[in-house]
């Protein structure tokens, strides 16, 4: 017998999330320069291409660049209180190292914000979401180069000065910890991963962390009412067995990700992280000014994506690596997986929320969660739709666990489902891996009308929002 869930707090920010390169298209319009995504036609599965190729679905994506008003109106129809989107760095600074921003690019996001305002939707803006200007990757080797800090600061300043009076919530880097695993996509690092030294990789991480603190500093100066958060790919690691060595292995893996929150919240490198660097023979170039920036400009809140949990073991014979969000992990024998092999673990979301809250005591924002699945368009009572009960079940079960965490005393600011409208996948660059409440008629070959259709989950989510979660079903 299922029961209902206690209503979520007043002011809870319900909504959906996207990223520029996965929805906008118009890859060469409005003065936009190329980004690293324009040479990643198949996501992270294959090496980068020389230049843009027509098989890259992101060239058109779902054409949000021209259809944003219609799409935001649909989000409003579901009752969204917030909409997370990213700004394409190469629309604002086409090469990344110019002195002045591109006015046409800035004006586009003015129009997007106008639509949000019209519908009373609070924007949640990611400054950098896997779309470093290609020129910065090719000429500077991305974040390995310290110059990127200055270019990013100029970019963040352009955004915060222009939009700071109308955007309250800002995220500095999407899944900042993923640079360790996907250095080109996440850090614009052109050197192939297998040739990248640990020193260069951790130096790139350091540059991003300093840049993130600088964005907070700029926000304090030009938009004091703004709140700045870090964004971490959360993936709790459970020990595969109660063997203490497995428990330690799980803790070590967990800390790979937790370090990014520790530094953003506490403003300094934790001891276990410094030990890891020492053992890898890495000597970071850190200035006194870097240290001071990290310490002074810590984040207002911590946001994260959550899709999967993993297991960890110290036994090399059992270290089979499964598929996961950007990086794998040892599969959990107790869990089922999605069609893409991502293991589904709603309780893991409650685990993460409690762990982060206990550790940092900062408000938490779940800015990505959702199920990538193949959908089929059907006619129901003369209406074209998708009967996506599997997506409803996934989101329901995760939201029930968010409710449990709130009852545990965790401060949760909001929840934005990933890909509230179908978009191009980051890891596989497919459109058939659909997350949305809104179906977009476009397939993996790029064919389709780009028409939008409401799925069954559209009305379901609208009801969840309207009832503040009381319509969710427990157990
Ligand atoms: C996160 C990214 O890793 O997961 C998103 O921030 C991405 O950009 C999402 O789309 C889901 O991953 P995928 O590979 O299914 O698109």
How many Cα atoms are found within 13 Å in the side-chain-facing hemisphere of 393?
A: 9
- Average pLDDT of span 250-265: 97
Q: Indicate the average pLDDT of the chain.
A: 96
The helices-and-strands tally (H runs, E runs) of the chain is: 14, 16
Chain segment 110-119, per-residue pLDDT in tens: 999 999 999 9
Residue owning the nearest CA to atom 16 of ligand 1: 425
Model confidence over 151-190: pLDDT tens digits?
Answer: 999 999 999 999 999 999 999 999 999 999 999 999 999 9
Task: Determine which one of 24, 312, 368, 404 is catalytic.
Answer: 368
pLDDT reported for residue 1: 44
Q: Is 463 a catalytic residue?
A: no
19 Cβ contact list (under 8 Å, min separation 6): 85, 86, 126, 129, 130, 131, 174, 423, 426
Asked if 422 contacts 440 with a C-beta cutoff of 8 angstroms, the reply is: yes
- Residue of 352, 183, 341 whose CA lies nearest to 257: 352
Q: Which of 427, 430, 436 has the most ligand 1 atoms within 8 A of CB, as the residue to mutate?
A: 427
Catalytic residue among 115, 131, 175, 404: 175
368 is annotated as an active-site residue: yes
Measuring from atom 7 of ligand 1, which residue has the nearest CA?
426
What is the rounded CA–CA span in Å between residue 199 and residue 468?
A: 48
426 ligand 1 Cβ < 6 A? yes
Position 45 scores a pLDDT of 82
Which candidate, 140, 313, 320, 306, places its Cα nearest to that of 234?
A: 306
pLDDT tens digits, one per residue of 416-471: 999 999 999 999 999 999 999 999 999 999 999 999 999 999 999 999 999 999 99
d(CA 469, CA 465): 6
Judged on CB neighbours under 10 Å (0-12, 13-18, 19+), 459 is: middle
pTM of the full structure: 0.97
């Amino acid at each position: 017998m299922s029961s209902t869930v206690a209503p979520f707090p007043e002011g809870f920010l319900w909504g959906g999330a996207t990223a520029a390169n996965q929805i906008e298209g118009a890859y060469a319009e409005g003065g936009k320069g190329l980004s690293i995504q324009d040479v990643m036609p198949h996501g992270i599965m294959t090496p980068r291409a020389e230049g843009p190729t027509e098989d890259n679905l992101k060239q058109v994506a779902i054409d949000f660049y021209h259809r944003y008003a219609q799409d935001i109106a649909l989000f409003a129809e579901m009752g969204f209180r917030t909409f997370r989107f990213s700004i394409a760095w190469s629309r604002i600074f086409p090469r990344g190292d110019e002195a002045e921003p591109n006015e046409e690019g800035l004006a586009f996001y003015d129009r997007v914000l106008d639509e949000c305002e019209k519908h009373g939707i609070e924007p949640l803006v990611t400054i950098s979401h896997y779309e470093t200007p290609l020129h910065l990757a090719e000429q500077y080797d991305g974040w390995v180069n310290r110059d990127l800090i200055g270019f990013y600061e100029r970019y963040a300043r352009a955004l915060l000065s222009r939009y700071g009076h109308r955007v309250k919530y800002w995220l500095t880097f999407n899944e900042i910890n993923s640079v360790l695993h996907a250095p080109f996509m996440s850090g614009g690092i052109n050197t192939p991963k297998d040739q990248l030294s640990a020193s260069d990789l951790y130096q790139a991480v350091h540059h991003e962390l300093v840049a993130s603190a600088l964005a907070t500093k700029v926000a304090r100066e030009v938009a004091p009412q703004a709140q700045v958060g870090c964004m971490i790919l959360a993936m709790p690691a459970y020990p595969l067995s109660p063997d203490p060595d497995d428990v330690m292995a799980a803790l070590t893996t967990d800390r790979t990700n937790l370090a990014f929150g520790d530094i953003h919240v506490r403003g300094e490198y934790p001891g276990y992280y410094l030990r890891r660097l020492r053992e890898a023979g890495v000597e970071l170039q850190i200035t006194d000014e870097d240290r001071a920036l990290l310490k002074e400009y810590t984040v207002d809140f911590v946001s994260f994506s959550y899709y999967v949990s993993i297991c960890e073991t110290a036994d090399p014979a059992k270290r089979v690596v499964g598929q996961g969000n950007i990086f794998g992990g040892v599969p959990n024998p107790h869990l089922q997986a999605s069609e893409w092999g991502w293991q589904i673990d709603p309780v893991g979301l409650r685990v993460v929320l409690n762990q982060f809250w206990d550790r940092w005591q900062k408000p938490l924002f779940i800015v990505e969660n959702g199920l990538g699945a193949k959908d089929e368009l059907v006619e129901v009572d003369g209406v074209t739709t998708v009967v996506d009960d599997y997506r409803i079940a996934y989101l329901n079960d995760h939201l029930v666990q968010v409710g449990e965490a709130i009852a545990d005393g965790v401060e949760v600011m909001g929840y934005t489902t990933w890909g509230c409208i179908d978009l191009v996948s980051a890891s596989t660059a497919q459109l058939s891996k659909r997350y949305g409440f809104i179906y977009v008629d476009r397939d993996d070959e790029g064919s389709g009308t780009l028409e939008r259709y409401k799925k069954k989950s559209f009305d379901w989510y609208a009801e969840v929002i309207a009832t503040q979660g009381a319509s969710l079903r427990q157990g």
